Structure 1
Amino acid sequence: MEQFLAFGIVGLSTAAIYAVIGSGLVLTYTTTGVFNFAHGAAGMVSAFVYWQLSVGWSWPVPLALAAVLLVFAPAFGLMFGKTLAPTQGLGDAEKLVMTIALLSGLIVAARWIWDPNASRSLPRFFVDKPAIDLGVVTLTWHQALTIAVAVAVAVGLRILLYRTRTGVEMRATVDDRALVGLTGADPRRANRIAWILGIELAAIGGILIAPLVTLDAAQLSLLIVSAYTAAIFGRLRNLPMVFVGAVVVGLLESYLTGYLPQNEYLPGLRLAAPALLLFVALLVFPHGRLRGRDRRVGAVPLPTLGGSAAFAAVIVTLGLMLATMLTESDLITYGAMFAWGVIALSYVPLLGFAGQISLCQLGLAGIGAVAYGHLGPQGQWWALLAAMGIAGLVGAVIAIPALRLSGVYLALATAAFAVVLDRWIFTLPSFEVLGVNVALFDQGSVSITGPDLFGLKVDTTAGITVFAAVCLALAGFGVALLRRSRFGRRLIALRDSEAAYATLGGNLLVARVAVFALSAAIAGLGGALYGMQVRAVAPDQFNLVAGLPIFLIVTIAGLGVVGAGMFTGLVFAGPLNVIPVLWPALLNLSQVLPALGGILFGGGVLRDGAVAPLRQEWFPMLRDRVVAPLLLVAVLGLWGLRLLDAIDGWGFTGGVVFVIVVARIWNSARTRPEPDPSVVPVEWWGIRRPWSPDDKEVLDRGVATGS
């Protein structure tokens, strides 16, 4: 009994921290309409700043706490509020981009500032004081402080939200911002207060939990999964139920630590328990309308068959160029662009066509990689199809329980699944199911070889690169055909309105299961190709944090654009790898680029995606019957010079860039319309033609309308 109570005390103290963090998350959501995936990262950064002040620079603890909670956290909250303000006019997926970009960027920034290889720890509060004796159990002062803070936060938030004018303004702002403004209140001020308080609570939670765990950027940021679970218990709006959910999560973690049987299959279950509970809570609890949900969505481009075939040919040609020009080590790095492209392409039918948000695509790619590795140890060709089928089956299984979820809730469910894969499933040793031996990573890594295509063994890195390029080309062409098909049009209708889709006779279950299975199969293919490229894969290559940049770059490229896959592969293999090679000091800066791109996207700079302006500005020259053939000849000529060692790799790259720019300028000059001599610019009125009495009226009207 004493042990049971002791674990209960530990669980309640942990639950208090989850309650503080979760209440801050709910506060910002209920008052701003933005679900902040970076809430835990804000607490993580605050904990690192507190460590820097109190341990790194030896500031007194009260002064360090005051600096973090009274200066840094409020300023951080204002930064969050200003950065996330433009998300009000975005759709579900685009709204998540900004907060996921902040999450990914803050993790990279923390690793940049504080070396992750250095060990850091924070002392618990009042560690020098004797524990409080409660008779049966003892309570440390840190635990007592944590519980007291949670109680104070609960009381304070209740009073603020329901007993003060500011609280009423904060809750009303998200329902009707314009109406609140008409009452004389300031919606912007209410949002600023909400962000300050929300990040303040995240900072308090981060500082309280940091002494209990390792100071690691990703680990501290993902502790938010437990707070997500608590928030879902409260259905993102009920603070008392958030505290109930926190107690459930805290006690579950503590009692699993104390009473979970010691064997090789269950240690990861304790780590994955909050994510499992989050998934269950999402399915069990009813969810109301997503507050601030915006159903306005953009059009999905319709690719032409000729353009899609030409783009596929370009991808294969690029694969051939890389295979013939790069060394073995460079091919392992840069040739992986095609595998990353296939994984990224899996988002296009799922998120771009059907509007279904998934944050577990990289985990599904890991399933495809490990399935191919075990089923095809000699590169059997059928193992690749089997790996795609297994990944597709897992995707279908995810879709069935997640049928009633959408938007933020679906993103949370798929993120929880990714965490379960990473923390538990991928760590399992081999086991048997109905007499069939099932092996995943088997607590290590899995070796993967190239395919044997009916006697043609593709076992060299160059051959695998070309094979991956062909797979990306075929997958991209297939997705383009899907967009043009009846099923593709149905998926877009599903994205536009699920209710209307069902009312018109569409089967939501079939459509969602089919698109989840298809996208998972594509991701599984990409995972197998990536494993072939690098020869061996480990679980940490397919975790949730590693998959966030892919989601960001695909969204930046443009949802529903078939070229988003190749764009993502080029970004991963290009700037993210080239910058550290040329300028090693900029390694961390290159890693934060996807997050910066996500912030620019949410801010409206790349609102229409990056591929659309590229297509508009650069693709017309490929349809020019004079410029396009000469450009092709020039690029092939540079390729030949490189194969003859007449120029090096940088010479080839610079030459290609030069001829493309020249072709663009030439095409613009050829297609520029001739000026109409009868049209006189307004600044020449009265000089090149006589001034008329109507001109003044035209100018006055133009000034008045701003045209």
Structure 2
Amino acid sequence: MTTFLTFTILGLVLGAVYAIAASGLVLTYNTSGIFNFAHGAQAMLGTFLYWQLTYGWGLPMWLSLIIVVGVVGPAMGAALHALIMKGLRDTADVTKIVVTVAILLGMLFLSQWIWHPEDARIMEMFFGAGAKVEFSGVVIRYHEIICLLAAAAIAVGLRVLFTRSRVGVVMRGAVDDPDLLRRCGHNPDRIAMLSWALGSTLAVLAGVLITPVGGGALEANALTLLVIDAFAAAMFGRLRSIPRTFAGAMVLGLAATYVAAYFPTDWTWAGNLRVSLPMIILFVVLIVLPQDRLRGAAIRTRERYRAPTVRKAVTSGAALVAGVFLLALLMDDTSITTFGLGMTFAIIALSLTVLTGYAGELNLAPLSFGAVATIVAFHFGITGTGLAARLTPWGVLLAVLVTAVVGGLVALPALRLRGLYLALATMAFGVFLSNMVLRDTTEHTLFGVTFSLFPNGTLIVPPLQVGPLDLRDGRTLLMTATVLFALIAIGLVALRNSGYGRRLAAMKDSPAASAMLGQNLVKLKFGVFMLSAAIAGLGGVLMASAGGSVAGDNFHIMASLSLVMLTVVGGIGYVSGALFGGLMSGVGFTIIIGTFNDLAAATPPMETIFKSLGHLAMVATALIGMGVGKNPSGMVHDLFESYRALRNARPVLIGGAAAQAVLYVLALTGVIGNWWFAVLTACLVMMLPVFGRMLAPTAVRETPLELVGVDEPYTPELRDRLDRELGLAPALGGDRHAVA
């Protein structure tokens, strides 16, 4: 009985902290319509600051708590809303999610910059671990009592706020109908800022309270994910009900402690199950709870993507292969291998293009599907041993097929989910896979066969060999990955221009209208999920093969979130956005850190400055993601638009091509280094549109098709343009002028 009471109290304490964190999520979502994926990162950053004030600088515990919870927490939430969140109106779900993911990554990079990850930091309970009371043989510490009382007070306070106060009613109206609220004399942005300040305060409080309960040293990733476990509690109340949210948090906390207490000790996977339990519960809750009805296109979002023709895709693919071949001539073997690794990430990013860019379905764990394919290829697709080991093409094919099936199995229960709910479901799958599968290093016996899913925590994946094609050579790997990327990209563009692609676009734009027109949304979702998973699986196997070995951390959910963020920054609706996101995620961070570390090693007096610049560059990458709200169509879209204006300034294009050719020859002959070649090329690419506008100031900017007849009068010329874009026969002159 004592054991039961002990673990029950511990579960209630853990549930209380989850409830505090989850209530902050509910608060911000109800007033801004944005689900804050950075909630855990805010808790982590506030907890690290609390440690610094209390243990690093020796301030009294109560004073540090006032500063962190009473000042820094509200200021952080208010600043996030004022600078970023209020600019996310009229953006798609993926944009809102990616912006908060970028904030999460930026806070992680910032914490690792300020507090070195290898330094151990321990936090004690309030009043110390010795401050406790005993009841019926059960020890309860003062810190745990504070957690329970704080959760109860917050539950009552929020309930009163939302149901008994005018402020609570105004908060709900801030997201339901901000225009009506404004007409009633209230400022929706100010109300939303207040809710973000309160939500951030609750996140920081949860982080400070839960860290001593969990024990162990402070670690940025672990603490962020620990508070993310509260997502399951928030979904119990469907992001609306505070009482149901608190009830769900208690169920979550009790389930975790009972698993630790009562599961047999010889079940080697019990520990992994306990860690994965919140994500399992989150997935189940998302499936079981009633979902919102299919939505129509009631709000026109600001994302704009131009679907290229297949001919343009073929031309661009050939140019990409040729460009990579020429660039490879400038690189050493190490750089070529690194570049090849980046191209495999770009293939994985293509899975996001077809799933999210074309179909509007969200997947926050693309690398998890790559992990599934890698495990299958490791166990069933390798022939030979030692240096003679090779990955077989049949093994790769089997891995891709199995991953497609897994994608379908994940999609089946999630077929009726959309938007935020689907994003949370895929994230739950990714965290579950990391905790349950990628940590499974023990041996199991099934039907007389002994195996281990992830032996020794590392999988050795040899290069692929198909006849004379041996990917052990880095240059061959790079060109093979590039050709595969180009072929898949061309195939996806052809798919987008087909009838199936148009059905996917219709489902993305308005599921309700698509269903009313007779489209089978279940089949569409199921098919596109399987296709996306297969592409991610192929990229995952090639990525593992390019590196030679992979560990569980290579498929961590944070890596997946980074890939998703950078692909959206590039342009989720373009295959070139996948190229940008994959290269930046796969090799961009490595190059940034490696370059500044090399500079620091070469110039010891400047070591601190160069290392700081490296960390600053990482944080700046996340800042780019935060700016997606101002440019939801991505960087590639802006680049295409700027170069489209150069059609009236062909001498600029010709001159730019000639200048690029000269730079390449100079780099090939060793006159300038590769670093200067890259810098000058980037400057040339950015400056060409500027020169074009200077030399062709009279060029007229074309009106976007969706604004024809809205931003300017409807003219015969505009009608002819619409006919050309839609592939319709030109109208007769008389009819045209009659319509005009």
TM-score, with length taken from structure 2: 0.85
For structure 1, which segment, 187-196 or 546-555, has the greater mean C-alpha deviation from structure 2 after superposition? 187-196
Partner of 2:251: 248
CA distance in 1: counterparts of 2:434 and 2:9, whole angstroms? 29
CA distance in 2: counterparts of 1:494 and 1:515, whole angstroms? 12
**CA 1:439–1:293 in structure 2 vs 1: closer, same or farther (change >3 Å)?**
farther
The answer to whether the 8 A contact 1:90-1:294 is kept is: no
CA distance in 1: counterparts of 2:498 and 2:614, whole angstroms? 43
Alignment counterpart, residue 488 of structure 2, candidates 468, 475, 482:
475
Residue correspondence of structure 1 range 46-195 to structure 2 within 5 A: 46-82=46-82, 83-127=84-128, 129-195=130-196
CA distance in 1: counterparts of 2:699 and 2:193, whole angstroms? 53
Deviation track 1:565-601 (CA, whole Å, cap 9, x = no partner) reads 1122343467534433443322222222332112111
Partner of 1:503: 516
Partner of 1:345: 350
The answer to whether the 8 A contact 1:88-1:292 is kept is: no
CA distance in 2: counterparts of 1:56 and 1:674, whole angstroms? 60
The answer to whether the 8 A contact 1:322-1:335 is kept is: no
How far does residue 59 in structure 1 lie from its aligned partner after superposition?
Answer: 0.4
Residue correspondence of structure 1 range 490-529 to structure 2 within 5 A: 490-529=503-542
**CA 1:561–1:432 in structure 2 vs 1: closer, same or farther (change >3 Å)?**
farther
**CA 1:531–1:632 in structure 2 vs 1: closer, same or farther (change >3 Å)?**
farther
How far does residue 403 in structure 1 lie from its aligned partner after superposition?
Answer: 0.9
How far does residue 172 in structure 1 lie from its aligned partner after superposition?
Answer: 2.3
Letter in 2 for 1:576: F
Residue correspondence of structure 1 range 128-527 to structure 2 within 5 A: 129-213=130-214, 214-262=217-265, 263-288=267-292, 295-297=299-301, 298-377=303-382, 378-429=390-441, 431=444, 440-527=453-540
Letter in 2 for 1:257: A
Q: Verify: 1:5 aligned to 2:5, yes or no.
A: yes
**CA 1:118–1:661 in structure 2 vs 1: closer, same or farther (change >3 Å)?**
closer
The answer to whether the 8 A contact 1:234-1:241 is kept is: yes
For structure 1, which segment, 12-21 or 566-575, has the greater mean C-alpha deviation from structure 2 after superposition? 566-575
Letter in 2 for 1:218: N
Q: Verify: 1:587 aligned to 2:614, yes or no.
A: yes
CA distance in 2: counterparts of 1:338 and 1:541, whole angstroms? 16
The answer to whether the 8 A contact 1:175-1:292 is kept is: no
The answer to whether the 8 A contact 1:374-1:439 is kept is: no
The answer to whether the 8 A contact 2:564-2:581 is kept is: no
How far does residue 88 in structure 1 lie from its aligned partner after superposition?
Answer: 2.3
Aligned partner of residue 566 in structure 1, secondary structure: helix
How far does residue 178 in structure 1 lie from its aligned partner after superposition?
Answer: 2.1
Deviation track 1:319-339 (CA, whole Å, cap 9, x = no partner) reads 323433322222232332211
CA distance in 2: counterparts of 1:426 and 1:250, whole angstroms? 24
CA distance in 2: counterparts of 1:401 and 1:38, whole angstroms? 26
CA distance in 2: counterparts of 1:648 and 1:86, whole angstroms? 42
Partner of 2:737: none
Partner of 2:734: none
Letter in 1 for 2:635: A
CA distance in 1: counterparts of 2:230 and 2:281, whole angstroms? 11
CA distance in 2: counterparts of 1:674 and 1:615, whole angstroms? 16
Q: Verify: 1:653 aligned to 2:678, yes or no.
A: yes
How far does residue 636 in structure 1 lie from its aligned partner after superposition?
Answer: 5.9
CA distance in 1: counterparts of 2:699 and 2:512, whole angstroms? 51
The answer to whether the 8 A contact 1:308-1:480 is kept is: yes
CA distance in 1: counterparts of 2:622 and 2:287, whole angstroms? 30
Structure 2 residue ranges without an equivalent (≥5): 383-389, 598-610, 701-740
**CA 1:161–1:634 in structure 2 vs 1: closer, same or farther (change >3 Å)?**
closer
CA distance in 1: counterparts of 2:49 and 2:351, whole angstroms? 38
**CA 1:665–1:623 in structure 2 vs 1: closer, same or farther (change >3 Å)?**
same
CA distance in 2: counterparts of 1:658 and 1:498, whole angstroms? 43
The answer to whether the 8 A contact 2:90-2:299 is kept is: no
For structure 1, which segment, 87-96 or 587-596, has the greater mean C-alpha deviation from structure 2 after superposition? 587-596
Letter in 2 for 1:446: L
For structure 1, which segment, 61-70 or 619-628, has the greater mean C-alpha deviation from structure 2 after superposition? 619-628
Q: Percent of counterpart pairs with the same letter?
A: 36
The answer to whether the 8 A contact 1:335-1:573 is kept is: no
How far does residue 439 in structure 1 lie from its aligned partner after superposition?
Answer: 5.2
How far does residue 147 in structure 1 lie from its aligned partner after superposition?
Answer: 0.6
Letter in 2 for 1:195: W
**CA 1:647–1:362 in structure 2 vs 1: closer, same or farther (change >3 Å)?**
same
Q: Verify: 1:610 aligned to 2:623, yes or no.
A: no
Aligned partner of residue 110 in structure 1, secondary structure: helix
Deviation track 1:112-170 (CA, whole Å, cap 9, x = no partner) reads 11111100011101226542221142211111111111111111112222222212211
Q: C-alpha root-mean-square deviation of aligned residues, in Å?
A: 2.8
**CA 1:158–1:669 in structure 2 vs 1: closer, same or farther (change >3 Å)?**
closer
CA distance in 2: counterparts of 1:317 and 1:674, whole angstroms? 32
**CA 1:417–1:674 in structure 2 vs 1: closer, same or farther (change >3 Å)?**
closer
How far does residue 425 in structure 1 lie from its aligned partner after superposition?
Answer: 1.4
Aligned partner of residue 176 in structure 2, secondary structure: coil
Deviation track 1:47-83 (CA, whole Å, cap 9, x = no partner) reads 1111111111110111111111221112112112212
The answer to whether the 8 A contact 1:357-1:411 is kept is: yes
CA distance in 2: counterparts of 1:220 and 1:99, whole angstroms? 17
**CA 1:15–1:294 in structure 2 vs 1: closer, same or farther (change >3 Å)?**
farther
Deviation track 1:463-504 (CA, whole Å, cap 9, x = no partner) reads 111111111111111111111111111100111122222222
Deviation track 1:310-359 (CA, whole Å, cap 9, x = no partner) reads 21112212332343332222223233221121111111110011100110
**CA 1:96–1:284 in structure 2 vs 1: closer, same or farther (change >3 Å)?**
same
How far does residue 645 in structure 1 lie from its aligned partner after superposition?
Answer: 4.6
CA distance in 2: counterparts of 1:183 and 1:368, whole angstroms? 56
**CA 1:654–1:595 in structure 2 vs 1: closer, same or farther (change >3 Å)?**
closer
The answer to whether the 8 A contact 1:27-1:198 is kept is: yes
Aligned partner of residue 132 in structure 1, secondary structure: strand
Alignment counterpart, residue 601 of structure 1, candidates 628, 632, 635:
628
How far does residue 275 in structure 1 lie from its aligned partner after superposition?
Answer: 0.3
Deviation track 1:646-679 (CA, whole Å, cap 9, x = no partner) reads 554235435645776787678668866599xxxx
CA distance in 2: counterparts of 1:537 and 1:13, whole angstroms? 37
Alignment counterpart, residue 556 of structure 1, candidates 569, 581, 585:
569
TM-score, with length taken from structure 1: 0.89
Letter in 1 for 2:394: W
For structure 1, which segment, 420-429 or 404-413, has the greater mean C-alpha deviation from structure 2 after superposition? 420-429
Deviation track 1:155-207 (CA, whole Å, cap 9, x = no partner) reads 11122222222122112222111222233333333222211211111111111
Deviation track 1:286-318 (CA, whole Å, cap 9, x = no partner) reads 134699997534454221222211211122123
Letter in 1 for 2:264: P
CA distance in 1: counterparts of 2:275 and 2:360, whole angstroms? 31
CA distance in 2: counterparts of 1:169 and 1:624, whole angstroms? 54
Structure 1 residue ranges without an equivalent (≥5): 676-707
